[in-house]
């Protein structure tokens, strides 16, 4: 195995993740023919086929699946060696890969990035915005250093720390502004617009209404909170959004905002990272900086 290199493993991991030579080559910043050569070299070195190839995509062989698990463990361990060196320098510096869920990113990132830049001037922040399941997968695989998500995530391998708790508000058409506010458990009688499958905020909204996540629904699902609010403004239904999104999303829509007088639904937003990362002390300190950056000005 003298010819097996980390470069081979990184190209292999990219192709295993994307399942497509073109996309894997683009993600790896090399040409598709060069990637093909690297994968062929790896298979020759191993004396085994890692991928089943077809005109449209590739998939791992049974051996490839086993190899992928070990390769990711090795790559994560190598990355953590780099993290050990960063820890020895004290304050956070260099590249840090931070994931953020879509129902938080547009509203939270501006003050957070400003706060982190002021505290860690040598930090190169790499932001990844996607849904919670993908963030947790990438965090576990070592492709992210930390993520900002809704808690709890209930993953024993991850460390969680709460940043803040916020209320949900009800968005209704402007004409409904003077109507009495329904209780959260009455929302199931209304046409509740939700984010599409995969968003944790969708599941939270369903929980507020005491509806199971898998129950068939009639209505329209949106890909963003902005889409949901505009649909409400068009008179299609009502929706729930987090308090942090109100100022941005309702600015240009004919809607009204209702706040629940009691039994107010809430969510807790926090940071998570691998329990084994050498950066744990620095990430704990970073979470305090994020928490401070989100405090309202006096």
Q: What is the pLDDT of residues 181-224, one digit of tens each?
A: 988 878 878 888 888 877 788 888 777 766 555 444 555 678 89
Residue where a domain stops, chosen among 62, 84, 106: 84
- The pLDDT of 169-191, averaged and rounded, is 87
In degrees and rounded to multiples of 5, residue 149 shows phi and psi of -140, 175
Let me know whether 197 and 109 are in one domain: no
What total number of domains does the chain contain? 3
Q: What is the pLDDT of residue 90?
A: 64
CATH number of the domain where residue 207 is located: 3.40.190.10
185 and 261, same domain (yes or no): yes
Query: What tokens were used for 139?
Result: 């965090």
pLDDT reported for residue 297: 53
* Model confidence band, residue 284 (pLDDT cutoffs 50, 70, 90): very high
If pLDDT is split at 50, 70 and 90, which confidence band does 116 have?
very high
Domain stops at, among 59, 84, 109: 84
Q: 262 and 169 in one domain?
A: yes
Domain membership flag for residue 27: yes
- The 10s digit of each residue's pLDDT in 54-70 is 877 888 998 988 998 88
Mean pLDDT across the chain, nearest whole number? Answer: 86
Q: Are residues 262 and 173 in the same domain?
A: yes
Residue 152: asked if its preceding bond is cis (omega within 30°), the reply is: yes
With bands split at pLDDT 50, 70 and 90, how would you rate the model's confidence at 166?
A: very high
Q: Which of 54, 69, 84 is the last residue of a domain?
A: 84
The verdict on 110 and 44 lying in the same domain is no
The parent domain of residue 227 ranges over 165-266
Given the DSSP bridges, would you call strands 51-53 and 221-222 parallel, antiparallel or unpaired? unpaired
The Cα–Cα gap between 157 and 218 comes to 38
Task: Please state the separation of Cα 23 from the chain's center in Å.
Answer: 20
127 within some domain: yes
Residues 145 and 280 in one domain: yes
Tell me: do 126 and 143 sit in the same domain. yes
Please give the pLDDT value at position 23.
Answer: 87
Q: Mention every residue, 6+ apart, whose C-beta is less than 8 A from residue 52.
A: 58, 59, 60, 61
| Predicted TM-score (pTM) of this structure | 0.75
67 occurs within a structural domain: yes
Same domain, 287 and 226: no
What is the CATH number for 21? 1.10.10.10
Rg (CA), the chain: 23
Q: How far apart are CA 12 and CA 242, in angstroms?
A: 40
DSSP labels, 144-211: -SEEEEEEP---TTEEEEEEEEEEEEEEEEGGGTTSPPPPGGGGGGS-EEEEPTT-HHHHHHHHHTT-
């Amino acid at each position: 195995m003298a010819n097996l290199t980390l470069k081979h493993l990184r190209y292999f991991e990219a192709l295993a993740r994307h399942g497509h030579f073109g996309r894997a080559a683009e993600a790896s910043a090399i040409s598709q023919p060069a990637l093909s050569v690297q994968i062929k070299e790896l298979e020759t070195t191993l004396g085994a086929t890692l991928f089943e190839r077809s005109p449209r995509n590739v998939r791992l062989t049974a051996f490839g699946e086993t190899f992928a698990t070990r390769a990711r463990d090795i790559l994560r361990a190598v990355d953590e060696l780099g993290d050990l060196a960063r820890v020895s320098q004290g304050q956070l510096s260099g590249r840090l890969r931070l994931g953020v869920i879509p129902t938080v990113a547009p509203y939270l990132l501006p003050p957070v990035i400003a706060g982190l830049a002021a505290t860690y001037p040598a930090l190169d922040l790499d932001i990844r915005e996607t849904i919670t399941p993908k963030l947790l997968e990438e965090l576990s695989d070592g492709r992210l250093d930390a993520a900002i998500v809704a808690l709890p995530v209930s993953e024993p391998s991850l460390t969680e720390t709460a940043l803040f708790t916020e209320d949900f508000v009800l968005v209704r058409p402007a004409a409904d502004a003077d109507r009495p506010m329904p209780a959260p458990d009455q929302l199931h009688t209304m046409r509740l617009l939700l984010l599409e499958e995969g968003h944790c905020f969708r599941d939270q909204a369903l929980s507020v209404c005491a509806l199971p996540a898998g129950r068939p629904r009639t209505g329209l699902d949106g890909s963003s909170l902005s889409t949901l609010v505009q649909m409400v403004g068009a008179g299609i239904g009502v929706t729930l959004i987090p308090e942090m999104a109100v100022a941005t999303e309702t600015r240009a829509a004919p809607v009204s905002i209702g706040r629940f007088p009691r039994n107010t639904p809430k969510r807790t937003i926090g940071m998570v990272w691998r329990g084994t990362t050498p950066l744990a002390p620095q990430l704990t300190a970073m979470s305090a900086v994020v928490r401070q950056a989100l405090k309202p000005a006096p």
